[in-house]
Amino acid sequence: MKADTRYWGSVRFYKHLILTATALMILVPNIGLMTMLVRHHRLKKSYHAAATEQTLYINQLEERLAYFMEHWDNPDAGADLATKESQLVPEHSNGHSTTDETMLSIPFSVDLTDWRYLLVNDQNPLAESFQPELVDTRNEKQIHRKIRASLELMLDDAKKEGLDIIICSAYRDYELQAQLVEESMEKLMRMGHNYTEAHWLTKLNLALVGTSEHHTGLAVDLVGTDYQTLDEKQAETPEAKWLAEHAHEYGFILRYPEGKEHITGIIYESWHFRYVGRTAAAFITENQLCLEEFLALAEQQK
């Protein structure tokens, strides 16, 4: 009788199938575990490096702010400031620095505890429990209820000028901010950046969780309907130019102006506007200050 030479469906086939399945059941989890351990080690190493750089960065900003505040009202510090690499004290529209004899001063009372002057940045994070009084905007975004009337008036007046400005981002809770940060870092790492590089590149464009003004409901990102990309070209749009010229009339300031990156820690964002009230907005805009500088000056004048 001729022996059965079939393999498919034979005893040998099932024996080999069982052995292969058993081997895979042992090898796959272990390979996965080893991969996870290697990745965890690399991420942990990169995280510690990023944390160290973050600490150094924060210390540097604190030193800059301390230097800025120390020399704000010292008329003899002008020469020293001129050679300071960070250029902490900016030139103003009147051609004088804040260290000149014609000292810049705020001509109105500033209550630093007022909600309009809430400062949120790396050195002043919000507690996760912070919750502003929110209302919906016309396009279903959320903002602080106290700024809605001013914001809507500004958008309506822009409309009369033929400019269709929309709110592309407003209030964000911690969960959404964390999601945006994570997505940004993952995208950058897919592009070839390591964890540390992705962290800092993300931080230049997106505040970390707890340090974003969007948590307050007092900040909005505004763009025209014809160009909604948040990049350097946004500043050249008619909507951005109109906002830069008129936003202060409604109590809003360009929160992250060009040339103030060493103070704010955020790149120039022509679309990000923050409510501070009309009086403060006019003063800040006229003197080309950022919010940190305005509040430092107010602190000095107390």
DSSP code per residue over 30-74: HHHHHHHHHHHHHHHHHHHHHHHHHHHHHHHHHHHHHHHHHHTT-
Q: CB pairs under 8 A, 24+ apart, for 100-106? A: 100/75, 101/75, 103/73, 103/75, 104/287, 104/297, 105/297, 105/301, 106/283, 106/294, 106/297, 106/298, 106/301
162 shares a domain with 295: yes
Domain count for the chain, please give it: 2
Residues 40 and 109 in one domain: no
pLDDT, tens digit (0-9, with 9 covering 90-100), for 245-266: 999 999 999 999 999 999 998 8
**Structure confidence by residue, pLDDT tens digits, 28-59:** 777 767 776 666 666 555 555 555 555 555 55
Indicate whether 240 and 124 sit together in one domain: yes
In this prediction, residue 284 carries a pLDDT of: 97
The full length of the chain comes to 302
CA R_g for the chain = 27
| CATH at 194 | 3.30.1380.10
86-145 residue pLDDT tens: 333 333 333 333 333 347 899 999 999 999 999 999 889 998 788 899 999 988 899 999
With cut-offs at 50, 70 and 90, classify the pLDDT of residue 65. low
Helix (H) / strand (E) element for 86: namely: none
pLDDT band at 85 (very low <50, low <70, confident <90, very high): very low
> What local confidence, expressed as pLDDT, does residue 227 receive?
95
Let me know: does 223 contact 234? Beta carbons within 8 Å.
Answer: yes
What is the C-alpha to C-alpha distance for residues 155 and 163, in angstroms, rounded to an integer?
A: 8
Alpha-carbon span 71 to 74, nearest angstrom: 5
Same structural domain, 4 and 132: no
Instruction: Please give the residue range of the domain that contains residue 42.
Output: 1-51
Same domain, 35 and 57: no
Q: Which pLDDT belongs to residue 207?
A: 79
Q: Are residues 191 and 250 in the same domain?
A: yes
Active site residue 269: yes
Q: Does pTM top 0.75 for this prediction?
A: no
Q: Tens of pLDDT along 200-250?
A: 888 777 778 888 999 999 999 999 999 999 899 999 999 999 999 999 999
3-state percent breakdown (helix, strand, coil) of the chain, nearest 5: 55, 10, 35
Task: Say yes or no: 46 and 62 in one domain.
Answer: no
Q: State the catalytic residue, choosing from 269, 286, 292, 299.
A: 269
Looking at the fold, whether 97 and 219 belong to one and the same domain comes out as: yes
pLDDT computed for residue 242 by the predictor: 98
